[in-house]
């Protein structure tokens, strides 16, 4: 019997699964590097990760994959574009055509440099000294420019080749089109807030919050909103993240500060949102596009949705506040629910992105988007990042970072080679706002559900509409399928206006 398209498809599926299985070993090594690896292990770890990334790349670019994709060209299997087989082949084709453009040496070098640069970033951030990190940023930017050149790009914008890795199909021109009206609306809203007469007291969240109690309280909240700790865990790292190791193994991290409630708590909810997405993927499709997240922007929509639309809402705290008062009697014993809700929603220019309020957060992203575009275009030298950061920050926020740890060294991303990643955070906020409106329309008064400690309906809605679909739709199409509308800034702006009108009495 001649070979059937179905055989080619099965062979492709098996190849993709094995590649992802190998790649998931790197994920565990990367997680360990940031959680438990002793400092002396850094060099060996870099060698391990470099070897694995090279092997993964070799598998991803194997001529066999190209041949299978060719063979599947006009197959009936792909007749329905939204069918699992068609989606898997479509995305495999995209990944393959990107991967073959990158020489294995470059991929290995990127991984090796990223692993070492991360260690240097940790050390530099600890001493708040950009000069310790700069040589590594320099290497990394050069490598990412090389990547952009190898991948290729339209419209003369090398940055677009990097952005496309995280948010497939999106260009920086489109990002600018989405971000510009958002920025204008935010500037207007911030101005209104600064002129408001009612002002919540932010100092409530910088009272004494014992770390052990924070650990218990955050973990319990993560559990209640739906993160499954049988299939995951929560650790502590310099920079919080979520890493999906594979089916049944999703790992979150956070960091605690005894004098800052919001950092760890909302950080944990944020990473839990990522984790709930990973745990909601179709396990049977592990290793295939149908079992993978759509894009980083959509991933971020899930984290921001749980962090902000759920976690910073009044309904959520109607349920959790008695427990918070019991856990932190010294800090919260004399604080009303409304005062606490105001405190966790104070809008105020601040230095650290991950601790920023929902409104100014987006400006932190605009700053990074601006700088990394310039870095990749070659208009900003890595050596000048510190001064460029401080100048741009002053322009956006009217403040100058007191040191590098609170300035250009605060984020791990560039050290890991994540350039073109930051815009997805702001996109995530926009997606989240639109999804949340659609969920409310379907599920009724979510605030009332949260107040009763009910989070399952929302979680299942997200599971069904987004998580279980894998990469069936590209991000821009998924938004339309789920919400009936193209992505825009309007739902986010409406959400912020409504929230801050209530809190600030605008």
Place of tokens 């260690």: 119
Pick 251 or 469: Cβ nearer a copy of itself = 251
Q: Name which of 58 and 129 has its Cβ closer to a copy of itself.
A: 58
355 is catalytic: no
Answer whether 443's CB lies under 8 Å from 457's CB: yes
Q: How many residues bind a copy of itself (CB under 8 A)?
A: 38
What b/e readout covers 27-55, taking b as 16+ CB neighbours within 10 angstroms? beebbebbbebeeeebeebbebbbebbbb
Residue 312 interacting with a copy of itself (CB under 8 A): no
- Kindly tell me the burial class for residue 353, based on how many C-beta atoms sit within 10 Å of its own C-beta (0-12, 13-18, 19 or more): middle
Min CB(467)–a copy of itself separation in Å = 16
Interface with a copy of itself, residue 18, by CB under 8 A = yes
Strand 232-236 with 242-246, pairing: unpaired
Give the binding range for a copy of itself (CB under 8 A) out of 23-31, 93-101, 134-142, 186-194: 23-31
Residues 6+ apart with CB under 8 A from 469: 294, 478
Binding residues for a copy of itself restricted to 432-461, rule: CB under 8 A: none
Of 271, 300, 307, 372, which residue is the catalytic one? 271
193 close to 240: Cβ distance less than 8 angstroms: no
Query: For residue 302, what are its two tokens?
Result: 């899930």
Closest distance to a copy of itself from the beta carbon of 286 (Å)? 8
CB of 272 to a copy of itself, least distance (A): 14
Shorter beta-carbon distance to a copy of itself: residue 71 or 249: 249
Tell me which residue has tokens 């419209």: 155
Q: Which is nearer to a copy of itself, 268 or 313 (CB)?
A: 268
Phi, psi of 286 (to 5 degrees): -55, 135
Instruction: Between 25 and 337, name the residue whose CB sits nearer to a copy of itself.
Output: 25
Binding of a copy of itself at residue 95 (CB under 8 A)? no
Which residues, 214 to 253, sit near a copy of itself by CB under 8 A?
A: 228-233, 235, 245-249, 251
- Residue number, 273 or 287, with CB nearest to a copy of itself: 287
Least distance from a copy of itself to the Cβ atom of residue 51, Å: 5
Residues 146-185 interacting with a copy of itself (rule: CB under 8 A)? none
Minimum distance of a copy of itself from residue 413's CB (angstroms)? 24
Distance CA 121, CA 369 (A): 20
Give the residue from 22, 28, 14 showing the smallest Cα distance to 244: 28
Say if CB 217 and CB 323 are below 8 A apart.
Answer: yes
CB of 287 to a copy of itself, least distance (A): 10
Phi, psi values for residue 242, rounded to 5°: -125, 130
Kindly tell me which of 38 and 63 has the beta carbon lying closer to a copy of itself. 38
For a copy of itself, the closer of residues 47 and 440 by Cβ is 47
CB of 233 to a copy of itself, least distance (A): 5
Question: How many other β-carbons are positioned within 10 Å of the β-carbon of residue 142?
Answer: 12
- How far is 391 from 380, CA to CA, in rounded Å? 13
Pair 415, 120: CB distance under 8 Å: yes
Exposed e or buried b for every residue in 223-250, given b needs 16+ CB within 10 A? Answer: ebbbbeeeebbbeebebbbbbbbbbebb
Strands across the sheet with 249-254, in order? 232-236, 249-254, 242-246
Task: Tell me how far, at minimum, the Cβ of 320 lies from a copy of itself, in Å.
Answer: 24
Q: What is the C-alpha to C-alpha distance for residues 226 and 248, in angstroms, rounded to an integer? A: 14
Residue from 5, 11, 32, 390 that binds a copy of itself (CB under 8 A)? 32
Binds a copy of itself by CB under 8 A, chosen from 4, 7, 21, 464: 21
- Which positions from 35 through 74 interact with a copy of itself, judged by CB under 8 A? 35-45, 47-48, 51-52, 55
Residues of span 282-311 touching a copy of itself by CB under 8 A:
286
Q: Using CB under 8 A as the criterion, which residues of the chain lie in contact with a copy of itself when the complex forms?
A: 18, 21-22, 24-25, 28-29, 32, 35-45, 47-48, 51-52, 55, 228-233, 235, 245-249, 251, 286
Residues that are catalytic: 271
């Amino acid at each position: 019997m001649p070979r059937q398209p179905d055989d080619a498809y099965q062979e492709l599926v098996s190849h993709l699964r094995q590649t992802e299985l190998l790649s998931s070993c790197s994920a565990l090594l990367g997680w360990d590097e940031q959680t438990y690896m002793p400092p002396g292990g850094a060099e060996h770890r870099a060698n391990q990760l470099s070897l694995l990334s090279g092997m993964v790349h070799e598998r991803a670019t194997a001529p066999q994959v190209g041949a299978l994709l060719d063979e599947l060209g006009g197959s009936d299997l792909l007749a329905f574009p939204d069918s699992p087989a068609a989606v898997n082949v479509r995305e495999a084709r995209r990944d393959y055509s990107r991967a073959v453009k990158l020489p294995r040496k470059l991929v290995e070098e990127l991984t090796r440099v990223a692993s070492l640069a991360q260690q240097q970033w940790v050390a530099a951030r600890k001493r708040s000294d950009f000069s310790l990190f700069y040589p590594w940023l320099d290497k990394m930017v050069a490598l990412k420019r090389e990547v952009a050149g190898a991948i290729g790009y339209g419209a003369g914008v090398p940055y677009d080749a990097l952005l496309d890795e995280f948010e497939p199909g999106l260009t920086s021109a489109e990002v600018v089109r989405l971000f510009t009206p958002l920025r204008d609306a935010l500037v207007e809203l911030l101005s209104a807030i600064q002129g408001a007469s009612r002002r919540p007291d932010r100092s409530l969240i910088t009272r004494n919050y014992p770390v052990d109690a924070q650990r218990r309280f955050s973990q319990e909240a993560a559990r209640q909103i739906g993160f499954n700790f049988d299939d995951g865990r929560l650790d502590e790292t310099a920079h919080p993240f979520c890493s999906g190791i594979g089916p049944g193994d999703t790992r979150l991290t956070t960091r605690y500060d005894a004098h800052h409630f919001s950092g760890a708590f909302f950080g944990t909810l944020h990473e839990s949102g990522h984790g709930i997405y990973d745990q909601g993927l179709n396990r049977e499709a592990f290793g295939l596009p149908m079992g993978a997240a759509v894009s980083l922007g959509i991933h971020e929509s899930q984290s921001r949705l749980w962090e902000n639309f759920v976690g910073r809402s009044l309904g959520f705290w109607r349920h959790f506040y008695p427990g918070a008062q019991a856990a932190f009697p010294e800090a919260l014993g004399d604080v009303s629910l409304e005062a606490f809700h105001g405190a966790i929603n104070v809008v105020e220019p601040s230095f650290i992105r991950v601790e920023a309020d929902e409104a100014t957060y987006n400006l932190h992203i605009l700053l990074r988007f601006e700088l990394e575009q310039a870095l990749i275009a070659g208009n900003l030298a890595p050596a000048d990042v510190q001064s460029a950061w401080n100048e741009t920050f002053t322009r956006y926020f009217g403040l100058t970072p007191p040191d590098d740890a609170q300035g250009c060294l605060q984020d791990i991303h560039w050290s890991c080679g994540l350039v073109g990643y930051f815009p997805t955070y702001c996109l995530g906020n926009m997606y989240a706002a639109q999804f949340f409106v659609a969920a409310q329309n379907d599920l009724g008064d979510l605030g009332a559900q949260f107040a009763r400690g009910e989070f399952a309906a929302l979680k299942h809605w997200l599971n069904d509409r987004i998580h279980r679909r894998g990469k069936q739709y590209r991000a821009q199409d998924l938004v339309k399928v789920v919400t009936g509308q193209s992505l825009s800034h309007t739902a986010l702006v409406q959400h912020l206006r409504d929230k801050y009108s209530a809190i600030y009495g605008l």
